[in-house]
Amino acid sequence: MEVHQLRYFCAVAETGNFTRAAEATRISQPSLSQQIHKLEDELGAKLFDRLPRSARLTQFGKAFLPKAQAILRQIGEARVEIREMASGESGEVVLGAIPTVAPYLLPSMLSSFAREHPSVSVNVVEEITPTLLERLHEGTMDLALLALPVSGDEMISAELMREPLFAVLPEKHSLARRRSIVLDEIRDEPFLLLKEGHCFRDNALRACRQSRINPNVVFESGQFATILAMVSAGMGVSVVPQMAARETPGCRFVFIADKRSSRSIGVVRLKYRNPTRGQVALLAHLQRGAVGKRR
């Protein structure tokens, strides 16, 4: 019996569906089903009734579920206890962050954290959301700072802040001097957006859908800096979060007044992996820092 088999079993029990459980645990459905079959063979009992669109616990599955959950909880507690015994509030915390947050939010926060907690080393990894979630599941990352919500029942999220979105316009654009606009006013403009895989692209497209516009995307990049340079050159318009709306030659940032044109930023960790003292301290520091950013 393997620990990952217990995780998969609990995921199916919680979601009631093999497909959703596979998505939550970030593996393919055939692989998850194979591991559940192996677990059933080892236990000598069928754990699920497999229905056309759902999976229902058998009497054996219902009896086994609390034991599997207890084992996962005890493993997490044991891991944390050993870490705490060995390091107290010292050691290393691996913090992941998406590129549309890391350069704007982390420098000042991590600088002050280092002064307050000199025995805790923070290793920052900047990656797109799918990679960060994969590393959390692998156990090679402790916390991830990204846009919420995230899918997966194995994750625990804590919102830090919610920020509005801004339109980025060339400085000579007819709307550039406005204090606010609605997205419908730029529906016919060429749009410059982040590439697939960047969660802020999804934020921008979601805001457009909510305003019932289908943006004409003519340019994609992996960096806000490149997009802003293209806007400055008059190649089109874009959408950025408030933290990226900083003075840029040739660009004007205009508040988007559409309802729900915002994004939520939070910290995510794995449910079955209890945090160390260093991780708890870092999370608390990020929460305090985010409150200060909102003022």
How many angstroms separate the Cα of 69 from the Cα of each of 13, 39, 130, 189, 203? 11, 15, 26, 53, 35
Domains parsed from the chain with CATH numbers:
3-84 (1.10.10.10), 88-160+264-294 (3.40.190.10), 161-263 (3.40.190.10)
Instruction: Report residues of the chain scoring pLDDT below 70.
Output: 80-81, 83-90, 292-295
Report yes or no: 181 and 175 within 8 Å, Cβ to Cβ: yes
Residue 134 carries which side chain, given as an amino acid letter? E
pLDDT score at 84: 61
3-class SS of residue 100: coil
pTM exceeds cut of 0.75: no
pLDDT score at 242: 95
Q: Can you say whether residue 273 is alpha, beta or left, with left for phi > 0 and alpha for psi between -120 and 50 degrees? A: beta
pLDDT score at 269: 94
Please give the Cα distance from 151 to 99 (Å, whole number): 19
pLDDT score at 289: 85
SS (H, E, C) 41-64: HHHCCCCEEECCCCEEECHHHHHH
